[in-house]
Amino acid sequence: MNGQASTAQVAQNMVAKIAREQLGFTEMGIYNYNVASDSPDKLSGRLDGIIAGLSVDDVVILQSPTWNGARFEHLLLDRIKAYRNVKVIVFIHDVVPWMNADASGELTNYIKLYNRCDLVISPNQKMTNRLRECGLMVTKVINQEFWDHPVAVDSTKVAPFAKRVTFIGLGSTKPLIENWDSEQVKLVLTTDKQPMAADKNIEFMGYQYDYNLLGRLRQQGGFGLLWNALPIWREYMQYNTSYKLSTYLAAGLPVITSPNIAQREVIEAKKLGLFVNSVDEAVRQIENMTSAEYQEMRAGVEEFAHLIRNGYFTKRILTEAIFNLFY
């Protein structure tokens, strides 16, 4: 996908790159744009261009959403299914109606889209269960569990124990800044400096390109915070698979997140971080933490991050999806 400057685009392009370069897939490029600006003829030509390389008996993996709307994805699927014996796997990255109240009426259309496919790659089992409750009927469903974040790191260095919490992104920074009052634990934000943070124990890193960001996180240590103050997003984070989670782990940082996260069992079993019900609780735990406790989590993260840094979740899920289509 192109046309965005977003984590969604980064995730889709990462999957496409691994599929293309390591598994021999051919990419079908999709551009995110204002679909309503197209005339019927122009839209038809655009769809023909997307599927120009398609042949009979092919397998297509549709990464959804395209962010062009459910109607666009149905029309694209119509074109794909016009080819004889083509099988379609839908790889669900996000369910838009659960992220945005304004799009809640589109849920039925997305469920119908998924049900037209031969196999579904779902973010995780909690998401699969919720989709089933909403009408998902496809028999073959497999779960992604974690995103990859391919990156080369200096394995001779590890994240140091530091009483600092890094929050990546722009969302939910205002309530974090307003409520941060710890003198022992530093909050680190990847935004420009904001006046409301004056005299607070807050560091502003500014925007960082991916490689620089992961290098700085690994060098400075501490924890990565996966959090959102907006009610709709706090609800959604119980079901989605967060790319940001894997960014922290790829950098070698233990994570701080809600106990309701879909990946709780793995995070708990592999000792990848802390579960808290509030940011204040996280601060208290870090204030009282020992170096030995941090090192235990860091060791768990370093072991697990080998999978994320080398693209193994993506390679596994794509290979397993193809295998299950024909097995």
Catalogue all structural domains in the chain, each as residue range(s) with its CATH number.
7-148+312-326 (3.40.50.2000), 164-309 (3.40.50.2000)
Q: Is 172 within any annotated ligand binding site?
A: no
pLDDT attached to residue 260: 95
Q: Is 134 exposed, middle or buried (0-12, 13-18, 19+ CB in 10 A)?
A: middle
Please write the tens of the pLDDT for every residue from 139-191: 999 999 999 999 998 888 899 999 999 999 877 788 888 889 999 999 999 98
Q: Is 7 within any annotated ligand binding site?
A: yes
Question: Does the structure show a pLDDT above 80 at 1?
Answer: no
Q: How far is it, in rounded angstroms, from Cα 245 to Cα 71?
A: 31
Cβ-count burial 191-200 (b if 16+ within 10 Å, e if not):
beeeeebeeb
Q: Is 242 within any annotated ligand binding site?
A: yes
Q: Please tell me the number of Cα atoms within 13 Å of 306 on its side-chain side.
A: 7
Q: How far is it, in rounded angstroms, from Cα 271 to Cα 299?
A: 8
pLDDT attached to residue 9: 85
Residue 58's pLDDT band (boundaries 50, 70, 90)?
A: very high
Q: What are the φ and ψ backbone dihedral angles of 122, each rounded to 5 degrees?
A: -100, 150
Nearest CA among 276, 236, 233 for reference residue 254: 276
Q: Is 247 within any annotated ligand binding site?
A: yes
Question: Does the structure show a pLDDT above 90 at 195?
Answer: no
Q: Is 245 within any annotated ligand binding site?
A: yes
How close are the terminal C-alpha atoms of the chain, in Å? 30
Percent of the chain with pLDDT over 70: 98
On whether the CB atoms of residues 325 and 87 are closer than 8 A, the answer is yes
Question: Does the structure show a pLDDT above 80 at 192?
Answer: yes
pLDDT attached to residue 174: 85
pLDDT attached to residue 31: 82
- pTM, two decimal places: 0.93
Q: How far is it, in rounded angstroms, from Cα 30 to Cα 67?
A: 10
pLDDT attached to residue 185: 96
